[in-house]
Structure formats: structure tokens, C-alpha cells
Amino acid sequence: MARVERVAPILGVRDVGAAIAYYGRLGFSTRKYDGADYGFATRDGIEIHLGGVPSDQEWTRTTAYFYVDDADQLAAEWRGVGAEVHGPEDTEWGQHEAALVDPDGNVIRFGSPMQ
């Protein structure tokens, strides 16, 4: 059986340049893909892709989940740069979780084990 080595969710965005700047403020290393309306954001081995969606085209907002070592710290860090973050709060499944909503409505849920 083939081995799956990594995953990179693709978030649809209206303005790739603005999305690259936004994720850069969140502490991601970013770069635009030359020749296409597309970009990349990486942090701590996590990679997300930012795909441009024409303004006249409908798209489905994307959700991704990040397992992190300290959800409180990451929520505070992201709020500190003006990001919309909900939570964190303890869940019945043992995670301390929060959610970031980006300017395009994409959601990155993130959590750490409850202590």
C-alpha cells in the first residue's frame, strides 16, 4: 500500500496577495506561486495552500484542523495581531479547542490536549 506522507489543505481566497499578508502576520512563512493566482503558507511543518477564486465564482469555505501544543498560547498570539479567534474551550472529547476565521471565512480549528 502506498504511504501518504503529508497533507496541505487548499483554502479558497478572493485576494491571494492579501491572504499571503494575513497568514504572514500569523507567523507563517509565505510565498506566492509565480504564474498563477496561488500561494503557500508554512509554519512548524504545517502547510496550507491559498488558491485564488474569481469574484464571480462561488466557492465553499474550507476548514482545517491543527493539533498544537498550547491552544491558549496560539489563540493569544493570533489575537495579538488582530485575528478573529473564538475560544479556546474544553471539549467533551478531551481537546482544548479554538477556531480562527480568516478574512475569506475559512476556518482553522486548533486544539491541544486538556490538562
Please state the three-class secondary structure of the chain as a single string: CCCCCCCCCEEEECCHHHHHHHHHHCCCEEEECCCCCEEEEEECCEEEEEEECCCCCCCCCCEEEEECCCHHHHHHHHHHCCCEEEEEEECCCCEEEEEEECCCCCEEEEEEECC
Work out the percent of the chain whose per-residue pLDDT is above 90.
Answer: 84
Whether the pLDDT of residue 55 is over 80: the answer is no
- Predicted local distance difference test score (pLDDT) of residue 3: 92
- Predicted local distance difference test score (pLDDT) of residue 33: 93
CA dihedral 10, 11, 14, 17 (to 10 degrees): -80
Whether the pLDDT of residue 1 is over 80: the answer is yes
Which domains, and CATH codes, for the chain?
10-113 (3.10.180.10)
For the ranges 7-21, 52-66, 99-113, the lowest mean pLDDT is seen at 52-66
Phi, psi of 27 (to 5 degrees): 95, 10
What average pLDDT does the chain have?
94
Per-residue pLDDT tens over the stretch 63-75:
999 999 999 999 9
Q: What is the pTM of this model?
A: 0.91
- Predicted local distance difference test score (pLDDT) of residue 4: 87
Rounded Cα distance between 63 and 107, Å, is 5
